[in-house]
Copies of this chain bind each other. A is one copy, B any other.
Amino acid sequence: MDVRLAWRMMKSVIANPLTAAAFAPFGDVIEKGGGEQFSINRGNCIRHHALATAEVTGDDASVIISIFCGQPYGLPHVLDMVERHPLGSQAFYPLSTNQWLVIVAPDASGKPGLPQAFLARGDQGINLKPGIWHGVLTPLDVPADFLVVDCGGTADNLEEHYFDAPYDVRLL
């Protein structure tokens, strides 16, 4: 197929601002004000408490903390695959102030349904529930580091799905 024709035939996915309500089917948004908050340390610290909970399954599974250093993607972004981790949640929190892109998809009989995209601010992280289809880490414009809290262990925890027809993800 002609490349230009293929591009014109691609289905678009519009990235909307990331909100806790819209993201709830897929997991939690990690942001100040997103949960209970209280003062600790003799008034010197506000704790925004339990914005997300890590979940892991498996005999030797553990909750591990890693740093991901991601190369940036541009918009529109051609989405040709998503992946999921059945054995654990996966949290991403940006270590820079740049906005970034979050792509997820509902499950439809073991395969990803129509993807949804969210534009996250630089002070918003996410925690994907176990088994949620999602795009790879997609910083925008500039390289960016993220703190990642996910599942460690020896079991196979990666399932990938390549779309027959890619989507293009863009802003309105």
Chain A interface (Cβ < 8 Å from any Cβ of B): 30-32, 35, 40-54, 62-71, 73, 91, 93, 95, 123, 125, 127, 136-137, 145, 147-149, 152
From known contacts A32-B145, A137-B45, infer whether A62 and B68 are also in contact, taking CB-CB under 8 Å: no
From known contacts A62-B53, A147-B147, A149-B149, infer whether A45 and B32 are also in contact, taking CB-CB under 8 Å: no
Q: Is the CB of A48 within 8 A of B68?
A: yes
Q: Is the CB of B54 within 8 A of A64?
A: yes
From known contacts A145-B32, A149-B149, infer whether A68 and B54 are also in contact, taking CB-CB under 8 Å: no
Output the nearest chain B residue to A83 by Cβ-Cβ distance.
Answer: B41
From known contacts A45-B137, A136-B41, A136-B44, infer whether A51 and B67 are also in contact, taking CB-CB under 8 Å: yes
Copies in the complex: 2
From known contacts A93-B147, A136-B41, A147-B147, infer whether A63 and B54 are also in contact, taking CB-CB under 8 Å: yes
What residues of chain B lie closer than 8 Å to A136, measured between beta carbons?
40-42, 44-45
What residues of chain B lie closer than 8 Å to A71, measured between beta carbons?
43-45
- Residue A149 contacts which of B47, B65, B73 (CB distance < 8 angstroms)? B65
Q: Is the CB of B64 within 8 A of A50?
A: yes
- Give the docked Cα–Cα distance between A54 and B91 (Å): 14
Output the nearest chain B residue to A64 by Cβ-Cβ distance.
Answer: B50
What residues of chain B lie closer than 8 Å to A91, measured between beta carbons?
65
Q: Is the CB of A69 within 8 A of B46?
A: yes
From known contacts A41-B136, A45-B136, infer whether A66 and B51 are also in contact, taking CB-CB under 8 Å: yes
- Give the docked Cα–Cα distance between A71 and B44 (Å): 5
- Give the docked Cα–Cα distance between A71 and B50 (Å): 20
